[in-house]
Chains A and B, each alone.
Chain A
Amino acid sequence: MKQKIMPLITIIALFLLGIFMPVILKQYHLNMLTEIIIFALFAVSYNLLLGYAGLLSFGHAMFFGLSAFVTAIAIIHIPGLSLWNVILIGVGAAVIVGFIIGGLLLRHKGSYFALLTLAFNALFYAIATKWHSVTGGDDGLSITRPGLDLGFTSIPLDSLTNFYYLTLVIMGAAIVFCWYFTHTAMGKTVLLMRENEERMKFLGFNTNISRLILFTFTGALAGLAGVFYTLHFQFVSISAISPDMTTAVLLMVFVGGTKKFWGPLLGVFVYIILQNYLSNITDRWPLVIGVIFVLMVLYVPGGLSDVIMNVWQRFFEKKDNNGGKSATAEEV
């Protein structure tokens, strides 16, 4: 019983905490928090591929960046476009591209999958860089956030506080759905495929279709994060779709740890705060993050969530040789 209620309490507590944040935080920090929440969805969607399905993609930024660009282009070229339609178009683009590229990739796993996703990401990056008339090339695109139309009333999103609340609700709902997804039939199917794909085929599962569905789904989530990225900064540049963005999300997920659902959330929090403070101190902040990453891979390959779990088990749980094992099995 305790196990079923705990996540629910955590989710409600985090939302309540989120609601009071604009009161507590200064604009600068609220800005950072909004960015953290957006990247949290991006990282969680990436971990569904990496941590749950065991698929190492080097192309997750193509969805994030594609939707970010499509959002900016749609707002610029279609006057009067409502926020809902912006989201719909942005996510729709990611779904279509995810489905097509996923269809081309679905027979590949391991390093072939990693390299092919990298290649596709590079292709999108090249298009964004060269197609200057549409994407703005190196200069990027600036937009103004449209207001939020709720039918009976409309809320302007010029103020950061309003936009923060919208981000909290939509990104939060998407992250909660991702958590729920890991417990559903499809979520378990993906996990079991990582464990033993051959057996899954003999149990009647079409594993290629499953991979395609997952790839499209995580692409759509990354796309949703990309839409909010553009809306948040009211600007998009080629950095959103560059392979560096994929590396960034990989680092976030890795720092937090892939084994727990909340690992990437922690990773994003640490990464973005670190990046903000380090970039104030030195221009060579990627060097520091790189060193931290190397040290983590060498000494804490399970990420921060693993460290926390170990400490927790040492102090709060009785030593029980069998308990640890069956807990992992249950969680699965």
Chain B
Amino acid sequence: MSDYLHIQNIHKDFSGLKVLTGVEFKVTEKERHAVIGPNGAGKTTLLNIISGKFKPSSGAILFKGKDISGKPPNVLNHYGLARSFQITNVFQELSVFYNVLAGVRSHHGLRYNFFKMPDHDRNICEKVESILEDVGLVDVKDQPASSLSYGQQRALEIAITLSTDPELILLDEPTAGMTREETNQAIQMIDKVTAGHTLIIIEHDMEVVFSLANIISVLHYGTILVSDTPEKIRNDQRVKDAYLGEG
């Protein structure tokens, strides 16, 4: 049986600066895989490569046996990948509803149609409403994104990521900058909305990682130090030395 997602020996140089030097790990279907590592370990670079924002300098990414490395993000989205951004990346001027509508209609094939009005399609509107319900933004759906609180903007970020109904979800520090209380709510929400999907989450916050992930990979100086279950990671001496011990 071939693996669901296989990150194969990924290297990335930025004009001589070697950020990733042979990243290798596997993700099985429906797994919740966290990638942790100290600042500057290359976590976001890795996510940018998997999601198609950057091309790897070398290596391959096999998604269901097919090499998807270097494919543009819009194509990867059609394969069923979606990502969120560490720095909130929404449509600030648009209402919450229209923010989510963009992805839902894309998934329904309404991207370049010259005649159909997507907000008149009942299926699409119902899907938007149900996503907003899941992330808890239904009450503010008519407000522009720019008027939301920080926590709500982060929830909107997740809602947009879910809007194209992806099977593989990549989250880049979804709780960055949140208070403890907001983080706890966010963990519950993410846990609920990503149920049944494959999840790769990049995170700084150990509480988030240990409560969401069932496999953790530790990225250290551009390579994966170890990939294992949370319990084993917690007791791994190398991880303690490299990362957990320091904090």
Instruction: Using CB atoms and an 8 Å cutoff, list the residues of chain A in contact with chain B.
Output: 181, 183-186, 188-189, 192, 195-196, 198-207, 209-210, 213, 217, 322, 325-326, 328-330, 332
22 pairs, A vs B, C-beta closer than 8 Å:
A184-B116, A186-B114, A195-B93, A196-B90, A196-B92, A199-B90, A201-B72, A203-B82, A203-B103, A204-B77, A204-B103, A204-B111, A205-B74, A206-B74, A209-B112, A213-B112, A322-B143, A325-B143, A325-B147, A328-B93, A329-B144, A330-B142
Contact surface of B with A, Cβ cutoff 8 Å: 51, 72-74, 77-78, 82-83, 85, 89-95, 98, 102-103, 105-107, 110-118, 142-144, 147, 160, 163-164
Bound complex: CA of A195 vs CA of B91, how far in Å?
6
Q: A307 to chain B: closest CB distance in Å?
A: 21
- Write the chain A residue with the least CB distance to B92: A195
Residues of A within 8 A of B115 (CB): 184
Q: A202-B77, A203-B102, A205-B74 are in contact. Are A185 and B113 (CB under 8 A)?
A: yes
Beta-carbon contact of A204 and B74 below 8 Å: yes
- Which B residues are in CB contact (< 8 Å) with A200? 102
Q: Which residues of B have CB within 8 Å of A181? A: 114
A192 and B91 in contact, given A326-B143, A329-B144 (Cβ under 8 angstroms): yes
**Contacts of B89 on A, CB cut-off 8 Å?**
196, 198-199
Q: Can you list the 9 inter-chain pairs with the closest CB atoms, starting with the nearest?
A: A204-B77, A329-B95, A185-B113, A185-B110, A329-B144, A204-B106, A203-B103, A201-B73, A195-B91
Interface of A is mostly: helix
Q: Say how far A40's CB is from chain B's closest CB, in angstroms.
A: 21
Task: Please give the distance in Å from B189's CB to the nearest CB on chain A.
Answer: 20
Cα distance, A264 to B210, chains bound together (Å): 57
Q: How far is the CB of B132 from chain A (nearest CB, A)?
A: 15
From B73, B105, B144, give the contact of A325 (CB < 8 A): B144
B144 & A192 in contact (Cβ 8 Å cutoff): no
Structural contact, A184 and B113, CB atoms closer than 8 A: yes
Known A-B contacts A192-B102, A326-B142, A328-B144; the reply to A203 vs B77 at CB < 8 A is yes
Given A189-B112, A204-B111, check contact A329 B93 (CB 8 Å): yes
Kindly identify which residue among B72, B112, B144, B160 contacts A199, using a CB–CB cutoff of 8 Å: B160
Which residues of chain B come closer than 8 Å to A199, judged between CB atoms?
Answer: 85, 89-91, 160
